[in-house]
Chains A and B, each alone.
Chain A
Amino acid sequence: MIKIDKEFENLSAYLDDELSPTEKEIFKERLQSSPALRERLNSYSRIKSQLGGVKSLPEDHFFETRLSEEIAKQTTGMRRYFNPGRPALLFASLTVVLMFVVKVAYDPFMELIDEQQTNIKDFYTANLRPLFNPDQLSNEELFNFAMNRVLPLDESGERVLTLSEGESGGDYFEIRQTSDGRSELNLEEFASKLNLGPGERRQMDSILNSYSDKIAKAVLVNDNNTVAINPMLMHYNMALRADLVKFAHLTAEKSKHITRTVVNNLPVIPDINLSQLASNFDPNQYICLAPDTSFLADIDVDLQNINKNAYAYSSGNKNGAKTAYVGSVPSIKKKYQKVYVDSVKNKKFMIFSDSNFIKIQVPQFDATMMNDFSKQMDSISKEIDKAVSKLKFEFRIDTIKVPNAMSFDFNFNAPNVKIPDLPPLPPTVVIPKFDSAFNFNMKIPSFNVDSLSSFYFNMSDSLLNFGVYGNDTLKLQFNKDFQKEMEALRKDMERFRKDMEKWKDDLRKNNVKPPKKKPVEI
């Protein structure tokens, strides 16, 4: 079969005159002797002749015209070199050109970028002014900043700047809503727990006020919706906390009225050297948060030359111009960005944001000291509460029993005050009765009037503590509910004293010898 095909193949080539002269001669002889080959040759020949006569396509007279147009279209101008069908080539070419320009003209190029950055910074930092008027920062706000690490950012207090510790140990500034449910230590509550006298309270106020200028300079705002925060604010917070706790320790040592147990449970805090901490940050360098960018900028704030009315926020506790503050957190488009402290880029602020909050992670410079201190600070409120709960309660009245003496009932009620368990008292002492709602009831059957001069209360609980000043002046230092009740008690006691005086006069008039003094302990 293969041989037959080879013969027919040569027959086809013979028809096309593609055999060599020798092959052609040999094949002619074969053809002569083979009718089958001759018949196949005729068949191929007929087909070939028909193929040669197949109609051609009609001539296209406009072919050149269309071709010319198409060629012109594809070779005009840049298309000759840059085929629009190859955008990758175009992009690569432009990239190479741009790289060349940057390499050759690096300095002017960087200067141009720097200039643009400076223009943007100038725009966003224009007219930055302190958010707080230092004269109007209330002691309560300063205390909240120190202990609760919260600064209000608007009149309503709904938007706050908080300082917090991240899970990884770093510290954060955060601008957010106030609804995080943290337990906040109140200035009045703190003073009450420490049982501060008027002089001590003034001392504490002066400590708080000494930081008002620094804090006022640390938060700036302007009408371009920019907020500038000085990272030193973190250090001011630590230093103010340390000063307050140190004050509590010192005051406790001097005062007879402050319960030592409260202060003894407070953590011992190392002195904060602000000038040393300042070496971590440039005091004039602010983190600026603008609507579409964040950057570091050197800003010099001179509080002396600032118009009092220029402050964006004024405390509601004091009189002063109330200027509306930027009502919402500036919306930063970038969800996450890094702002570098310096050109070395080894220290950086990390900024996270969404539509509701902005969080700025402060780089750690002295992590060990900061962490230890921060942990101590965070536990201060808990420690105070714990200390209060361990207080002893003592209530003593030295008096004498008088036959047929008048008896008095003292009743007061302080439902919000929890009274700790009483220690065992001598059987001669009248034990006051407290029920769960702190209804106090004490019955004194008889008194020696003269013994009133030695009458005293010494209740070691900071909330219930009050002292006797002079012979008949009772100084009350309680919370309001308790004060009301104790005021009523004082009036009762006053009435009791007057009745006793009257009773003593009556006795003298009647020459009745008073019985021998016999102390009664309650």
Chain B
Amino acid sequence: MDNEINKDDMNPQAIYNLNDDFSLIRQFNSGNEKAFKELVNRHKEKVRNLIYLTLGNTDAVDDISQEVFISVYKKLKFFRFESQFSTWLYRITVNKCRDHLRKVKLRNLFFPALTPENENHSKTYLRENYDIKEIVRMYVAKLPEKMRVPLVLRDFEGLSYQEIAEALELDLGTVKSRIFRAREGLRKFLEPFQEELL
């Protein structure tokens, strides 16, 4: 991880292998630490944004994303190449986010004073202080976690229903239902902002 990979010095086959997640994993398992860095580079922003949208804030994004990749580093030798690496990575990320949310919930139970106040801002306040995309993100954060995560994976990360089902270990019908319910929830939240949505 100390040396940068210089793609200019590589032949096309090497670049192809490097671009292939599976190939990078095999290289890492053979002892090539640089391959892991390439994997991190390739997926870190998706992981960070998924954490950000899942949690609804940036407070723990860095810590959780580090935990995710450390976990990947330790478990990569057990990867069975039966699914996309990204699907496996998102599953780890979502589980880490759930662990974090569980801890936050527990902490809030015992230390309610530390819980941030609900942001029940008025429509006027939101219009004046946020653009519509930020307002949408804020309302996404208000969705229940089990509906929020499939929606984020679909509309932010662009995963198919099948990939979402694999990542969250749900059946396809449940994914379809939860994404619909998330959209319905958002639609109701955003009814006052129809003009801005246009």
Contacts and interface: CB of A to CB of B under 8 A. Distances in A.
Interface of A: 5, 8-9, 11-13, 16, 18, 43-44, 46-48, 50-57, 59-60, 63-64, 66-68, 70-71, 74
A13 B161 contact: yes
Given A68-B1, A70-B70, A71-B73, A47 B183 contact: yes
A55 B133 contact: yes
A60 B133 contact: no
A9 B176 contact: yes
B40 A64 contact: yes
Contacts of A5: 180
Nearest to B47: A63
Most chain A C-beta atoms within 10 Å of own C-beta, residue among B2, B61, B187: B187
Nearest to B44: A63
Given A50-B132, A54-B134, 17 more contacts: A9-B177, A11-B180, A12-B176, A44-B183, A44-B187, A47-B197, A48-B183, A51-B140, A51-B156, A52-B155, A54-B53, A55-B137, A60-B62, A66-B62, A68-B1, A68-B37, A71-B73
A1 to B, nearest CB: 13
A18 B197 contact: no
Chain B contact-residue range equals 35 or more
Given A18-B160, A57-B48, A51 B136 contact: yes
Given A12-B179, A63-B40, A57 B58 contact: yes
Most chain A C-beta atoms within 10 Å of own C-beta, residue among B69, B134, B156, B184: B184
A57 B49 contact: yes
A50 B40 contact: no
B90 interface: no
A54 B49 CA distance: 10
A2 to B, nearest CB: 12
A18 B125 CA distance: 37
A53 B133 contact: yes
Contact of B70 (A52, A60, A71): A71
Q: Is the contact region of chain B dominated by helix, strand, or loop, or is it mixed?
A: helix
B37 A64 contact: yes
A57 B1 contact: no
Contact of A16 (B73, B137, B140, B179): B179
Contacts of B37: 64, 68
A362 to B, nearest CB: 60
Contacts of A9: 176-177, 180
B52 A47 contact: no
Interface in B69-109: 69-70, 73
Given A13-B176, A70-B70, A56 B45 contact: yes
Interface string B34-55: 0001001100110011001100
A56 B37 CA distance: 21
B161 A54 contact: no
B40 A67 contact: yes
9 contacts: A47-B197, A50-B136, A52-B155, A54-B137, A54-B156, A57-B61, A60-B62, A67-B70, A74-B70
Closest 5 pairs between A and B when the two form their complex, measured CB to CB:
A12-B180, A51-B155, A9-B180, A46-B197, A68-B1
